[in-house]
A = this chain, B = another copy of it.
Amino acid sequence: MWGMFNSVVYVSISSYLSLVTTVLIFLKLSTSLHIVSHLEHGRNDGKVACKEASPPESYISLNRISLLQLPDLLPTQNGEELTERFLHEVVSILLSYIKKTYDGKTKVLDFHHPHQLLEGLEGFSVELSDQPEPLEQILVDCRDTLKYGVKTGHPRYFNQLSSGLDIVGLAGEWLTATANTNMFTYEIAPVFIVMEEIILRKMQEIIGWGESEADGIFSPGGSISNLYSVLVARYKRYPEIKTKGMAAIPDIILFVSEHSHYSVKKAAAVLGIGMDNVIVVKCDERGKMIPSELEENIIQVKKQGKVPFYVSATAGTTVYGAFDPLVHIADICEKYNLWMHVDAAWGGGLLLSRRHSHKLSGIERANSVTWNPHKLMGVPLQCSAFLVREKGLLQACNQLCAGYLFQPDKQYDTAYDTGDKAIQCGRHVDVFKLWLMWRAKGTRGFETLINRFLELAEYLYKELKTRKNYELVFDAEPELTNVCFWYIPPSLQKIPKGPEREKRLHQVAPKIKARMIEEGTTMVSYQPHGNHVNFFRMVFSNPATKKSDVDFLLEEIERLGKDL
């Protein structure tokens, strides 16, 4: 093992040596004042002896990067050294950003309005021109792009279901970019295709499906995965849809819950089914689909002469983090012969936790599942799996056998040319970062991570119950990491519950959020939902977040909102 590691290190020696030279030259060149002032903040504590020297020959070598342009990099002859130095500079900028991201004392963002970014800021311009910029400017552009962006890995960034910056996942994404290939054929992505098979099989196994019967594909996000579910469900029941279109089949009806993600409705619009043919089933106070309501809706639809054919149950709703009662829904789907899809984009990660996986009981009876490792599992964006229990369906539904890609007379097993399963042609490699993270964490590592997120949610829930300026949207222990609440400023605490208070409360969260963004200290989402006025939705999916960050958030909301 040590021998293998050695060989990895050997590979990097030559590049390290050029860095040694670069650094030594730089030390000679720079005024000692600058260097020492910088190093005082580094881990070497300024104990560097710098003596003045006349610029050596190699000054030019360092300075070259500012004079040269893209054509001097590879593939230009002798472009190796400059390429290496340019990429090392880029990596330095990225490392500096990563360190700032994890340093809780930095801001989450430095907000500017669109017109400000468009007009340009302190030498940062987004404009494009006919002529090239020097490489030096490209480095500055990289630094500034990060500077004016949002640190989504910051311990106090809670704005979306995807947050955090996993270092191994990041390494995986850098490698994916370097490999720069496409998932349509085994021919050009052999390792990634095999990894996709391994990962999909693992996920199917965890869902509880038998080993060889299932299938799946990584797609560009949960919405597209949900679209796949409707697409294959429709094809399974009416294979003629592929050639004849909707005109050849009866009016089909989809069922989702009030709290489901909007993507199933969007899919219905895209697929030519129409959003009116999506029935929205009522939820209980906790955001869970009510099975008896579902059944009643199905019966109604049948009476109207339409064909109920598909239910999307949610395992982890976007706002409340609710789990629909999957076993009950599975019973109903069986009874009425409906396709059962489970949108576990957000909650799927809980399957990896022995403590919490019971919340998804019944998922093994689903016909298809959406599960986004880029959410609770912390995989860099994007990484979404669509899984389907019946093998061959994806291929039959989507294949067109393009001669220029899927030649039947290849020398290898062309079942590994998975491209014809997709609605895409070229498909980005989304699987490698997940595979690499799984190697580095093991299933147990994901479990530890996810259990910790749940503990943080529980901590926040308990804190909110004890603090007098906060009100919970529903009072129940969190099942996922979502916690929904209002902040009630002192001025509102005197007003009795009623329309006037509601009207004013509705404006509180947006105002606090606007101030939060202006100050850049933290970010959390808010929204109205059903008949509830604007409330904050807190979620945990960031490995960097600690209890102290939760405390900070609550105090920051009070600080920013107490005068409202």
Contacts and interface: CB of A to CB of B under 8 A. Distances in A.
Interface string A241-252: 111111110010
Contacts of A34: 6, 10
Nearest to A5: B136
Interface stretch (A87-95, A291-299, A457-465, A554-562): A87-95
A470 interface: no
Contact of A8 (B92, B178, B187, B193): B92
A191 B148 contact: yes
Given A265-B400, A274-B247, A426-B223, A114 B416 contact: yes
A133 B440 CA distance: 5
Given A178-B170, A223-B423, A148 B190 contact: yes
A361 interface: no
A138 interface: yes
Nearest to A63: B2
Contacts of A517: 187, 411
A424 B220 contact: yes
Interface stretch (A139-147, A329-337, A387-395): A139-147
A186 B170 CA distance: 23
Nearest to A26: B9
A497 interface: no
A19 interface: yes
Interface stretch (A77-85, A282-290, A308-316, A487-495): A77-85
Question: Which of A44, A109, A266 has the most CB atoms of chain B within a 10 A radius of its CB?
Answer: A266
A84 to B, nearest CB: 6
Total copies of the chain? 2
B224 A87 contact: no
A243 B274 contact: yes
Interface in A489-546: 507, 510, 513-514, 517-518, 523, 525-529, 534, 537, 543-544
A485 to B, nearest CB: 15
26 contacts: A12-B88, A12-B89, A12-B95, A12-B96, A43-B81, A74-B98, A113-B413, A118-B197, A118-B198, A128-B199, A133-B442, A138-B171, A138-B436, A142-B175, A145-B175, A145-B191, A150-B187, A159-B188, A162-B182, A174-B177, A220-B220, A220-B428, A243-B274, A243-B276, A245-B268, A409-B507
